[in-house]
Amino acid sequence: MPARSVAESLTATDHGKDLAPVVLVHAGLLVAGGISLALDRPAQGWGVLATVVAYVVALQVVTRGTDLAALAAFLVPVSVFQVLPDWVLADLVGTLRFPDTGGLRVDDVIPVAMAGMWVAPLFVAVALGGARPARAAVLSAVIFLGSELAAPVLGLWEPTGDTTRWLGVAVYVIPAEAALGWATAVAFTATRRLGVAHRVGAALAVSTFYLGALVLSHFLIDVAGWGITA
């Protein structure tokens, strides 16, 4: 099935009945997420984890039998592997921190909930972009900019270290998150007809590419002096 079928599934009236449950799942994510974030610690962390797990499962169910099912499934391993770039930023580079709000954490650094938290923004970016890399990149940059603005206020994560900031957002992450949307769309369209091993490998490649984009962007924006010496 060509990549344009993803775009068609969002615009064709025949698919309206398929899209209604998808919209409801995302509305439910916002409502449940808001309730979870209003809780005190450690209930807050556990609530966020439960909300993310419920959303990921619900998305797989409501997209089953539609053009969006393959995308929803592909984003699960992508989101799981996204723990690795976050882990590097938080534990090695020192430009990211996840407050301990309760719940399970990876190496006492990253909430396990982050392993599923990337599904929603990438699903929206790639689906609305029709799985076209350039459109997915633009949408990803816009969506993640909103996330980066809201995250410190909500207590999900926050930038740390010596980085260039705009409205509290570490600037270097935005080009990298645009690259993430591009890479996700490319990997998805290239492997959607292949076996599970190929799709999981592509998901790992996306996160590895994203980590490289983060480090390069951080270096170019915050570290490199751009001087020429003799």
**What are the beta bridge partners of residue 166?**
169
Quick check: 70 pLDDT over 60?
Answer: yes
Q: Could you tell me the residue ranges of all domains in the chain?
A: 4-221
Return d(Cα 8, Cα 135) in angstroms, integer.
15
Q: Which residue has the higher pLDDT, 229 or 215?
A: 215
When pLDDT is cut at 50, 70 and 90, the band that residue 1 belongs to is very low
**What are the beta bridge partners of residue 165?**
170
> What is the pLDDT, as a whole number, of residue 13?
39
3-class state of residue 151 by DSSP? helix
| Cis upstream peptide for 159 (omega within 30°) | no
> What is the pLDDT, as a whole number, of residue 5?
55
Task: Please report which residue ranges of the chain form alpha helices under DSSP H.
Answer: 4-11, 16-37, 43-63, 69-81, 83-88, 114-117, 119-128, 133-154, 173-191, 196-218
The predicted model scores a pTM of: 0.89
Burial 161-196 (b: 16+ CB within 10 A, else e): eebeeeeebbbbbbbbbbbbbbbbbbbbbebbeeee
> What is the pLDDT, as a whole number, of residue 16?
58
pLDDT tens sequence across 95-149: 999 999 999 999 999 999 999 999 999 999 999 999 999 999 999 999 999 999 9
